[in-house]
Structure formats: structure tokens, C-alpha cells
Structure 1
Amino acid sequence: MSRTQIILLVFFAHAVAGGGIFTRIPDIQQGLAMSEAMLGLALTTASLGGLAINLVSGRIVRSLGVKPILVIGLPLLSLLSALTAYAPTVPVLFAVILGMGVSFSLTNVAMNVEADRVETASGRRVMNRCHGIWSAGMLTAAVLGVGARGWAVPAGLHLMAFVPLVGLLAATIAVSMSPCPETDGDRSTRPGIALPSRRTFLLVLFGLSGGICQVGTQNFSVIFMRDTFSAPDWVDTLTLPAFLVSMTLGRMFADRLTERFGPVVVAFSLAGFALAGAVLVAAAPGVTVALAGFALIGLGTSVLFPLMISAAARLGARPAAESVSAVIFLTGLVMLAAPALMGWIAETAGLRAAFAAFIPPILLTLLLSRQLAPR
């Protein structure tokens, strides 16, 4: 397998390892009798774990290397995801989700650093395609979740079935992966913690809407459909496939579009679709319009995170691993309260208002899209 094929496999495995839980969040919520606000706090612990590890994840990646982190971290992420369904109490659930956040974020930094190195070595853009494959992995997990809920498969059994699959993918990565050599920037000997610079701060503000829309859709869209419309459980769960299909398609074609039109034009144009989608979801009179809205949000936000990562890796002021880590750290810091805030809005003003909260960060993305221009 080529290096491009291997890094695409890594992104797919990462999504499958961490993506199965999102279709089962309503079941986990009901099993522990949690309110939307308490659920939001529980999900915030994943951000806490990721935030803590992202302070030093760049240095960990440079010290241990990409391959060991991925081979160990991906199966661990899948196992922790499955254990959420077996948590007997809310505090135990908090602890398991905290561990998920750590493993998710460390492997996330490692695979994005490797994707940037593959781009540098090949001279071709692959970052959007990598994230497109990641979305395809999330879609695979979501479709399987739809089927599992439709057939009333217990959440624990459903999620535990992913563990041997991810283990097999990790074994394939262990055998086949030959990591790319470090770039010139990676060879910098300047040690440091991944604290953000002014440029990384602006890049994060640009990409923030993508993270908020993705996290909000993953965590609350099924609950939104369940509580807003009268439809079978499997129909409620279609929000994730609608979001992920359009996100996957957007990412799979984005590298070619970016090479032709440039990142600024592509980001600005697609963010307009995200804005239209957020308006549709917030005002949806029925299931069909809501699903169309989630699809537009997926398409519109598809390129934001990959373009933000690529821009950060090429800043040049520090090693690429530290720049990528800094951007992911700051994204996690800004979004730390997002699940809890969205849960609070849902509980006090309704779920429509919670999804209307997507609109301001999307407008910020439109304003800051020029930050992607090469410098």
C-alpha cells in the first residue's frame, strides 16, 4: 500500500473507532436518566481530555512517532467508546468520556501531521481527501447505528462490535505503514508547548463553525428529531447520514476545487451553504426540510477543518506538529463549553434555538475566510 492509501486508511479507522457512539447518545442518555444539560456536561469532558493532551501532543508525536500512537491509540479509542454504554453511573460515564477525549485528540494530531507530511512529500493536496475518508468512516458508523437502533440491538453490543474491526485495521497499519520523513519545519529543535499565536487564533476563529456544527449535529441532532417531530427512531437517526454524506462528498472533491480556485474562494462559497442549512434546521416545519438542512450544513462545513489544518501546518514559525497541535488545542479551548452551552440553550429555549446558534459562528467563518490566503 502507498503512503497515501495508508493515511486514508488511518483516517477511516479513526472515524470508525470514535464515531459509533453518536447514534447511541440518546440511548445512553435515557439509560442514565440524564437531562440535556447533564448530557452536555458529560460530553464536555471529552473536550477537557482533548484539551489537556493537546498542550503537549505535538511534542509527544515528535518524540514517540506517528505510528506507535496510531497503532495503540485507535483500538483504545474504540474500546473506550464501547465502554460508555456500560457505564453504571454518571460519574463513571464522565471518566470514560474523558479517556475518549485524550485518545481521540492524540491520534487526531498524529494523523493530521502525517497527512501534511504526505502532502509535502507528494506535492499534491490530500488533506481534504483524508478528511473526506474520515467522514466516510463516520457515515459507515452512523449507518450501522441506524440499523442497530432499527433492529433494537443493545448499545453495548453494537459498540463493542467495532472493537475487533478497529483492531484489525490497526494491525494493518502496523504492518504496512512507513511514516513519511519529517519536513524541514519538523526538524526544528526549539522545544515548546503548543500555545497559540495570533495567526493560529485567527485560523481557529475561521474554522470554529465547522467544529461547532459537527459536534452539535453529532450530539444533538437525533435528540432534536426525536423531540421535535413524530417519526420512527430510525428516521430520527437519519440526520447523521444526511450530514455525513454531504460532508464526505464535499471533502472528496475539495482538493481539486482548491487547487483550481484557491482555498479562500472554496471556503467562502461552501460556508454560504452552511448558513442556509442552519436557517433551514432552525425553522424546519417537518422531517424532510430538517434533513435537507443538516445535509447543507455538512456540505458547507466540509472543508473548514482540513483547510484550517493545512494552513496551520504551513505557518513556518514552528514545527508543523506543534502548529497543528496549537490549532487543535485552541479549537478545543474555544469549544470546551459548546456541548454544555448547547444543552443549556436546548433546555431553556428549545432545540430549534440551539441549532440557530450555529448561525453566528458561520458568519464569522465567512468574514475570516481570507485568512487562508498563502503568505
Structure 2
Amino acid sequence: MSDSSTAVLTRAAYMTRPRFAVSMLFLMNGFMTGSWAPKIPELKERLGIGESVLGLLILTFGIGSLVMMPVAGAAIARLGSKPVVKLTAILLSPLLLLLTLVPNVWLGAIAMFVFGGFIGAMDVAMNANAVEVEKSMRRAIMSSCHAYWSLGGLIGAAIGGALMARYGVLTHAIVLTVIALALIALAWPMIFSDAPHPDVKAEKTRLPLNPLPWLIGLVALFCMVPEGSVLDWGALYLRNEQGASVALSGLGYAAFSASMATMRFAGDHVRDRFGAVRTLRLSTITAFVGLILSGLAPDASLAILGFAIAGIGISNMVPIAFSAAGNMPGLAPGIGISVASFMGYSGMLFAPSLIGFVAEHTGLSVVFLSVPVLFIVVLALSHLARHADAGKV
């Protein structure tokens, strides 16, 4: 074996460590997000609040994320992703324990803002780190990273209820904090170092005037609104308009998330083989077909099948958008990703309320037939996904 071949194999073996580390960071962030869901009813009961106040608290979580994402992007541009992802992960890990201990709604609102803020800040930092690992490996890893996030969310949500029922909410919060810290400890010595960046100019840390990252952000937005639609309204659609049982109505999002997580593990291989542009286009068409099938379905089983097909399509759309945002020419990765994250997650935050207003007057079947129209814009802008492959050449 030649020296050059040995060097390539050695480098590939070494780079599996940063890839493992960033995967653990995605797993930890998803686990914290998923662990929050089972705590919502307990928080409502403990603070003695109604649905409207609870809704405002959840909105505070989203506002915290949107506020902190650009801050994280600017910090990454100046310091690199490694110190930012370490700091945000450490600060995030005890926050669900804090939420378990807050005695009133005002402190609860502050805790929710901070929790959402560090979820969002870490999200930007870990995506920026994944972009740097992609560049170093010269291959796609972003889809599998997002698969680990989905897996973490499923684990957090699945074990939360059982732990709280058996051992109580405080023990649950302590256990998940220990798990989060253990995942950070696993990743800590292997996190890819991309700092400092002495070549990053000060003007690169400001919000960009160039329309390119905002167009990528629009792609992220129009990919995440349909995802949020299935999450927030899929079960209600199956229950009220398809006549599904309570048990069956929950399978809509389960099928969607399972197919999405599975396809995300395979998505990097697909993107490496066909390129980001072709993968995004094929994924968009698949998601379009799935949601249209759900909207036109005569019964719940076909609607669930449509959600599963939509999950296959949507699975790799957001990772490709984030990779493209992190590879914008002349722009620090953290800034591009913070723009894409801000726009994408704002859609997840505000679109459900708009959908609820529309659905009240038209029905949810019309919603699931209308939302895929957004994919036409994604297809029109799909050529911008070529930037996602920039780090591999």
C-alpha cells in the first residue's frame, strides 16, 4: 500500500471521531427537546395555569430560540463552533431540572425563554460543527446527524412518561440531566476543532446583505412548515376528518417520524451518490406526493401512508438546506446557518397558529392539499443546494 493511500485511510479513521462527537451532540439536543414533551402536563398542573397561559409559555420557548440563534451565529463566526457548542451544551443540560423546580409562572417564563434559547443556540453551533466535519471528511454527514437528533427526541419522549410515573418528576429531571451530561462527556474530547478562524473578517459576523443565505433560509422555511403541519395537526386530521380511533390517530406522526429518522440515516449515502441538488429535488417531489395523498385519502390508513411517504421526502430537505447555508461563499458558516435556522424554526413556531385559523374555515384536508404548494418554491430554488456539496470538492 502506498504512503498516500495509508495517509488517506489514517485520516478517514481519525475523522470518525469528530463525526461520532457531533452525532452525540445532536443526540443530546434531540433528547433534551424530546424529554420536554412529557413534562408539559406536569408543568401546567404544578403552576395551576390554563391552556392559554401554557401556550404563552411555549411561545416564550420559541422566542428564546429565535433570539439566541443569531447570537450563536455571531459567536461561531468569531470563535469557531467548538467552544460555542461546548458552552451551550453544558448550559443546556440542567435547564429541564430548573424547569422542574420553578415555583411560579413568572420564573417559569424566564426558564422557558432560557431553555428555548440554549436549545436554539446549540442547534446552530452543532450544525456549524457538522458542516466543518463534512468539509474535513469531504462527504455528507448532515442527514445522519439530524437522524441522531430525531432518535434522541424519540428516546426522550418515550422514556419520560414511564420515568415520571414510576419515580416522580424530580427523579426524571435528575436522570435526564445525568444522561445529557454523559452524552456531552462522550463527545467532549472528540469535538472537531475549527477555531480560531483568523481569516474571518468582522463584516462576516453581521447579518448578511447578500440575498443568497436568505434564499437558502426560505428553502429551510418551506421545508419545515410542512413538517410542523404534520406534527401539530396530523393526529387531529385523522381523528376528526378520517374517523380514526384515538390509538390510530397517533400513528400518523409516528409513521412520519419513523420514516424520516430511518431515511436520514441513509440520506448521506444518497446525497454522496446523486449530489445535493438532485437529492433535494427528488426528496421534494416525494414529500409533495405524500402530502397530496394524505389530503386526498378516503380513509385513515391511506392518510397515514401518505404521511410516511412525506417523511421520506422531508427527511433530507432540511439537512441539505443547512449544509448549503454553512457553505455560503464569503460568509462564516455560523452566520449562514443561523439565518437558515432562524427562518426555518420561525415557520415551525408561527405556522401552526395560522394553519389552525385556516383549518377552522376550510378543514384540515384542504390544509394538507395546500401546504405542498410551498414545495414549488423549494424546487424553483433547488439549484442553490449545490453549495451543500462545496465542502466535498
Instruction: Tell me which interval the TM-score lies in, with the shorter structure as reference length.
Output: 0.7 to 0.9
2:90, 2:297 → 1: CA distance?
39
- Output the amino acid matched with 1:187: D
Q: Among residues 25, 34, 45, which one is paired with 2:51 in the alignment?
A: 34
Give 1:1-375 correspondences, 5 Å limit.
2-22=17-37, 32-34=49-51, 42-63=57-78, 65-74=80-89, 76-77=91-92, 79-81=94-96, 94-144=109-159, 161-174=175-188, 176-182=189-195, 187-191=199-203, 192-195=205-208, 197-225=210-238, 229-232=243-246, 235-333=248-346, 337-374=350-387
Change (3 A) 1:369 1:270: same
How far 1:203 sits from its partner (Å)?
A: 1.3
How far 1:368 sits from its partner (Å)?
A: 2.0
1:230, 1:88 → 2: CA distance?
39
- Is the Cα–Cα contact under 8 Å of residues 38 and 157 in structure 2 kept in the other structure? yes
1:72, 1:283 → 2: CA distance?
47
Q: Deviations over 1:116-137 (max 9, x none)?
A: 1111122222122212222222
How far 1:108 sits from its partner (Å)?
A: 0.8
- Output the amino acid matched with 1:56: V
How far 1:17 sits from its partner (Å)?
A: 1.1
Q: Deviations over 1:229-269 (max 9, x none)?
A: 45345x54434432222112222222222222221211111
- Output the amino acid matched with 2:187: I
2:112, 2:309 → 1: CA distance?
29
How far 1:337 sits from its partner (Å)?
A: 2.4
- Is the Cα–Cα contact under 8 Å of residues 210 and 305 in structure 1 kept in the other structure? yes
Range 99-108 or range 87-96, more displaced: 87-96
2:151, 2:383 → 1: CA distance?
28
2:72, 2:362 → 1: CA distance?
38
Q: Deviations over 1:215-236 (max 9, x none)?
A: 3333444455555545345x54
- Is the Cα–Cα contact under 8 Å of residues 128 and 306 in structure 1 kept in the other structure? yes
State the TM-score, normalizing by the size of structure 1: 0.82
Q: Deviations over 1:272-312 (max 9, x none)?
A: 22112222333444443333222222111111111112112
Q: Secondary structure at the match of 1:54?
A: helix
- Output the amino acid matched with 2:116: G
Q: Which runs of 5+ in 2 are unaligned?
A: 1-15
- Output the amino acid matched with 1:166: A
Q: Secondary structure at the match of 2:202?
A: coil
Q: Secondary structure at the match of 1:359?
A: helix
Higher RCO by CA contacts (8 Å cutoff, separation 6 or greater):
1
2:210, 2:133 → 1: CA distance?
25
How far 1:27 sits from its partner (Å)?
A: 7.8
Q: Percent identity?
A: 25
Q: Secondary structure at the match of 1:337?
A: helix
- Output the amino acid matched with 1:110: A
1:198, 1:141 → 2: CA distance?
38
- Output the amino acid matched with 1:273: T
How far 1:336 sits from its partner (Å)?
A: 5.1
Change (3 A) 1:306 1:97: same
1:25, 1:349 → 2: CA distance?
30
How far 1:329 sits from its partner (Å)?
A: 2.7
1:165, 1:110 → 2: CA distance?
20
- Is the Cα–Cα contact under 8 Å of residues 221 and 343 in structure 2 kept in the other structure? no
Range 296-305 or range 59-68, more displaced: 59-68
How far 1:199 sits from its partner (Å)?
A: 0.8
- Is the Cα–Cα contact under 8 Å of residues 79 and 195 in structure 2 kept in the other structure? no
1:158, 1:265 → 2: CA distance?
44
- Is the Cα–Cα contact under 8 Å of residues 116 and 310 in structure 1 kept in the other structure? yes
Q: Deviations over 1:85-135 (max 9, x none)?
A: 787877666544332321111101111111111111222221222122222
Paired residue total? 369
Q: Which runs of 5+ in 1 are unaligned?
A: none
- Is the Cα–Cα contact under 8 Å of residues 142 and 241 in structure 1 kept in the other structure? no
Change (3 A) 1:238 1:246: same
